Amino acid sequence: MNLRIYDPETARKTLLQRQPPDVQDVPAAVRERIQALFGEPLTPAQAVARILADVRTGGDAALRRWSQHLDGWTASDFRLPPTELQRALAHLSSDLREALESAAERIEAFHRRQPLTSWITQDLGGTLGQLVRPLRRVGIYVPGGSAPLPSTVLMSAIPARVAGVREIVLVTPPQRGSDRPAEIILAAAALAGVSEVYVIGGAQAIAALAYGTETIPRVDKIVGPGNLFVTLAKQQVFGVVGIDGLAGPTETVVIADETANPEWVAADLLAQAEHDVLAAAIMLTPSETLAYQVQQAVARQVAQLPRKDILALSLVGRSGIVLTRDLEEAIALSNAYAPEHLNLVVADPWRWVEKIESAGGIFVGEHSYEVLGDYAAGPSHVMPTGGSARFASPLNVWDFVRLISLVALDPRTAAEVGRVSAQLARAEGLEAHARAADLRAATANS
Amino acid sequence: MNLRIYDPETARKTLLQRQPPDVQDVPAAVRERIQALFGEPLTPAQAVARILADVRTGGDAALRRWSQHLDGWTASDFRLPPTELQRALAHLSSDLREALESAAERIEAFHRRQPLTSWITQDLGGTLGQLVRPLRRVGIYVPGGSAPLPSTVLMSAIPARVAGVREIVLVTPPQRGSDRPAEIILAAAALAGVSEVYVIGGAQAIAALAYGTETIPRVDKIVGPGNLFVTLAKQQVFGVVGIDGLAGPTETVVIADETANPEWVAADLLAQAEHDVLAAAIMLTPSETLAYQVQQAVARQVAQLPRKDILALSLVGRSGIVLTRDLEEAIALSNAYAPEHLNLVVADPWRWVEKIESAGGIFVGEHSYEVLGDYAAGPSHVMPTGGSARFASPLNVWDFVRLISLVALDPRTAAEVGRVSAQLARAEGLEAHARAADLRAATANS
C-alpha cells in the first residue's frame, strides 16, 4: 500500500476529478442495508425522505421507532440532563481537560477576532444599513463512529457561542455498546457552551432538529458533519432550516518543493488518509526526488500505524502524488480541485498565498501542518469539501447570524426614490406599487 | 374582496402559520400539467429530478428538448450575443434609462458600504485570519412571467459585481410570444454588469448552470427567485453549486398604530398583494380605528386597480389584519412570523427596531415604504421568505464571496499547539494525527 505517482494530465482526469454527491455509486453494503431495513431497493435519498416525512408527522414516537429500527437503540427520553455535562467535565483527567481547554481557548480567540458587526450609513439620504442578529437556536450534529470526536464539538459550538447564539443543541448517537455519548464529548460540550444534548443520531436526528418533536424544539440551523444519510437529510431539510453545507470525505492537498521534509509530509499525508477510506491525501510537487522520498517515507511509517485497514484503501483510492512541471502548475491544479485543506510546504510560501483561489484553509509552511488545524490552531475544522470551496466557506461566526436590511429614508430622498420606483413599477406592470408612491407625492404637493 | 380582521389567537393558528415548502398542497393545475407532460403522476420534486438528471447527462440536446417540451420554445444557441445588452440600453427611452441608472446607483452605493474584507491577526502566535475571495462565476435566474422584472436583474447582479465577481451569467426565459427577453431586461443587465445572457428558463436552466453543458459553462453559485420548479431545482442542486436560498411567495407585515395614514397603509398592502395570488399583505395593529379605516381604504383603492384577478385571491388568502393588544404583541407576532418585509408605521419607530429579531428588511416610518425597497432604496430586494428570515439574510455582498482560513503559526506556538493536538488526536483514536505532531517535537528536541 502506497501512494501512486501521477502525471498532471492523468491526475486531472482521475485523481482530481470529483463527481457531485448524488451520482456517486452507492456501495453494495449500503444498498443491501437499505433493502434489509426498508424491504425495497430505495436509493439512499428515498430512504432518507421516508424517515424525514415520518418523524415530521409522527414526532417522538417515530423518532423512537426509527432509532430502534436503524440503530438498535432507543430511549423514552433522548434528552440528557444538563447537569451531566459539567459532571463529565469535572471527571475528565486533568491532562485531557487542559488539552480541551487550551484548544477551546484558541478557537474562541480566533473567532472573536472575526469582524462581525451591524453597519449604518447616513450619507445615502437617511439611515440605511444592515443589522446583525445572532440565530436564536442552533443544532450541532456530531457523528458517532469508531471514536468520539470532541474536537468537532468545539469546532462547531464555539463559533456559534461567539456569534451570540443562546440555545446550542447537540445531537449525537450513543457510543457503540452504550446508551450515551462518550464522556469526553459531554466534557467538550460543557466547555463549548452547549445548552442541550439529545442522544440520537442519523437522518431521524436531523428530522427532529428541523421539524421539532413534542420534546425537541426545532432549531433555526443545523451544522456539523455526518455520514451519507445525515448529509442527505440535511440537503432535504434545507429551506425548512438553514444548514452549513454538505460534508463529504475529507481532503488535504500538500504543495511541496525540494525544501520540504519528506518524513513530515509523509506523516501529514498519513494523518489525512487515516480518517476514512474515502479520504484524499494528495501531494502536488515539481520535485521528483521529493515524490520518491515521500513514497518511501509513507511505506515506512504506515507499517507502524494502527488503522491499516483504512489506510490500505485510502492510500490507493483518492490519494496520490502528482508530479507537476513547476509550482505554478501545482497551484493551478489545486485551485481547480478546491481542496478542503491546502498545505504550502515550499521555500517561499507567502509568495503563493495570494494565488490560492479556492480552499477551505491554507496552512502556511511546515510548522502549520493540517493536524494542528484539526484541533487547536484556531479556525474551525469544519471546512468545505468535495470542491465546494468554489462557493463555500469554513464554518465561522457569520454562519450563526443573519442580516436585516434597514431602510429609513428622509422625506426628500423618499420622494426622489419614489419617483424612480413608480416609473420602474409601471415598466414591470405593477400599478399598485406605482400608486403607493404616487399617493405620497400627491400628499407632499397638496 | 377585502382584508379580514383576525384576533391574535386565530391569526397565530391560521394567517401567521406557514407550512414548510414541501408539504404545501400541489395545486390541481400543476398536478395536471405534470401528468400531461410526463405521462405519470409525479410530484413536482420528482419531475424536477428527472429534468436535472437528463440535462446533466444529455447537455445541450437535453436542454433544447426540455425547453421545447415544457415551454414550447427552443433555440440552436441559447446564448445572446453580448452586444445585444449595450444595444438594448442605448435604445431605451431616456426616462426609463434614467430611472434604471438611478436605482442601479443607489443599489451599488448601498452594497459598497457593506463591510467586506480579509482580516489577519498576529497576536495568536503567528499569522492567522481569513481571506475573502470573490466567487469566480455566478448565475442569476430572472423569471419570465407576465411582465419583465428589470429590478430583479439589478438587485441580484449588482451585489455580485460589488463583491468582485467577474463572470455574471443571466438566465431568463424569453418574453411571452417572443424568442428573447424584454429589452428592458437586457438594458438592466448591461447596467448591472452582466457578462453573459442565456435565454432559457425553468428547472432545465438551473441544471445547465449547475452542471454545465457543451455551450454553457457551469457556475459556482445560483441566485435569484423563480417559480416552484426553479425553486425545487435549486434545492436539488444545492451542494453541487451554492444557492442563495429557496424563494417562496412574497410577504409584507406592516406594524401600525393610530398615527398611521390609513390610505398609505392600504396602498402599501395592495402593492404587496398585487404580486401574486399567494402574496401575504398583513397589518398588525392595536388600533381598531385604524383597522377599519384601512379596510375601507383597501376597498376604495382596489376598485381602481388593474390585476383585480390576483388581488381578489391574495387579499383573502394569506393577507389580513390582526388586532393586537398592544405594539409589544404586534412585535412578538412579527418576530414569530419572520416576514420578508417589515414596515414600522408607528409614532416612535426607532424604539421598536432593536426588538425586531427576524425580518428580511425593516422599513422605518411611513416614508420608507416597501415599494421603495423593491426598486431603489438600496438594499437588495431578494430577501428571505417563508419564515427563513429565522436563519437567512437578504442577498448581499457576502453571498458572492467565500472565506479561506489562514494558519501560519510561529514554530514555538506550533510546538505548543502540536502537544495539545497530539493529546486530543489520541483521545479520538487518530494515531497518525498524533505522530505528525510527535515527529515535529522529536526533531525540535534532537
Q: Give the model's pLDDT for residue B177.
A: 84
The total number of residues shown for chain A amounts to 446
Q: Are A278 and A249 in contact (CB under 8 A)?
A: yes
User: Quick one: A375 and A418 in the same domain?
Assistant: no
Q: Give the model's pLDDT for residue B122.
A: 97
Q: b or e along B399-417 (b: 16 or more beta carbons within 10 Å of the residue's beta carbon)?
A: bbbbbbbbbbbeeebbbeb
Of A245, A269, A300, the residue at which a domain comes to its end is A245
- B341 touching A (Cβ < 8 Å): no
Q: Give the model's pLDDT for residue A144.
A: 86
- Smallest Cα distance from A75 to chain B, Å: 26
Q: What is the DSSP letter of A238?
A: B
User: Quick one: A266 and A307 in the same domain?
Assistant: yes
Mean pLDDT within B23-31: 77
Identify the domain containing residue B56 by its residue range: 26-71
Question: pLDDT grade, residue B20 (50/70/90)?
Answer: low
CB contact under 8 A, B440 and A369: yes
What CATH code is carried by the domain that includes residue A138? 3.40.50.1980
Task: Check A340, A366, A370, A381 and give the catalytic one.
Answer: A340
Mean pLDDT within B372-397: 97
Of B245, B270, B293, the residue at which a domain comes to its end is B245
Q: Give the model's pLDDT for residue A26.
A: 81
Whether B398 is in a domain gets the answer no
Told to judge if B341 belongs to the known catalytic residues of this protein, a careful annotator would answer yes
Chains A and B form CB pairs within 8 A to the count of: 409
Whether B427 is in a domain gets the answer yes
What are the pLDDT digits (tens) for A144-154? 877 889 999 99
Q: Give the model's pLDDT for residue B145.
A: 72
- A446 touching B (Cβ < 8 Å): no
Q: How high does pLDDT run on average in chain B?
A: 95
Told to judge if A328 belongs to the known catalytic residues of this protein, a careful annotator would answer no
User: Quick one: B65 and B191 in the same domain?
Assistant: no
Whether A153 is in a domain gets the answer yes
What are the pLDDT digits (tens) for A367-385? 999 999 999 999 999 999 9
Give the count of domains, chain A: 4
CB contact under 8 A, B362 and A404: yes
Mean pLDDT within B424-442: 95
Q: Give the model's pLDDT for residue B19.
A: 76
- B284 touching A (Cβ < 8 Å): no
Report the candidate in B423, B446, B442, B422 with the shortest Cα–Cα distance to residue B434. Answer: B422
Whether A149 is in a domain gets the answer yes
- The closest CB to that of A356, out of B365, B377, B404, belongs to B404
User: Quick one: B362 and B347 in the same domain?
Assistant: yes
- The closest CB to that of A128, out of B238, B239, B378, belongs to B378
- The closest CB to that of A149, out of B376, B377, B428, belongs to B428
Q: Are A119 and A217 in contact (CB under 8 A)?
A: no
Burial of B187 (0-12, 13-18, 19+ CB in 10 A): buried
What are the pLDDT digits (tens) for B89-128? 999 999 999 999 999 999 999 999 999 999 999 999 999 9
Q: Give the model's pLDDT for residue B66.
A: 95
Phi-psi category of B126—alpha, beta or left, where left has phi over 0 and alpha has psi -120 to 50? left
Q: Give the model's pLDDT for residue A398.
A: 97
Report the candidate in B52, B240, B137, B63 with the shortest Cα–Cα distance to residue A19. Answer: B240
User: Quick one: A140 and A226 in the same domain?
Assistant: yes
ipTM over 0.85: yes
Using CB atoms and an 8 Å cut-off, which of residues 133-172 of chain B contact chain A?
A: 133, 135-136, 146-151
Whether A396 is in a domain gets the answer no
User: Quick one: B264 and B345 in the same domain?
Assistant: yes
Whether B365 is in a domain gets the answer yes
Q: Are B193 and B158 in contact (CB under 8 A)?
A: yes
Whether B315 is in a domain gets the answer yes
Report the candidate in A78, A43, A403, A32 with the shortest Cα–Cα distance to residue A212. Answer: A78
Using CB atoms and an 8 Å cut-off, which of residues 93-112 of chain B contact chain A?
A: 95-96, 99-100, 102-103, 106, 109-110
User: Quick one: B91 and B227 in the same domain?
Assistant: yes
User: Quick one: A178 and A300 in the same domain?
Assistant: no
CB contact under 8 A, B420 and A102: yes
User: Quick one: B193 and B159 in the same domain?
Assistant: yes
Q: What is the DSSP letter of B21?
A: G
Q: CA-to-CA distance for B372 and B370, rounded, in angstroms? A: 5
Q: b or e along A369-399 (b: 16 or more beta carbons within 10 Å of the residue's beta carbon)?
A: bbbbbbbbbbbbbbbbbbbbbbbbbbbbbbb
User: Quick one: B237 and B99 in the same domain?
Assistant: yes
Which residues in chain A show pLDDT less than 50?
Answer: none
Which is it for the CA torsion B350, B352, B358, B360, positive or negative?
negative
Report the candidate in B129, B178, B212, B107 with the shortest Cα–Cα distance to residue B406. Answer: B129
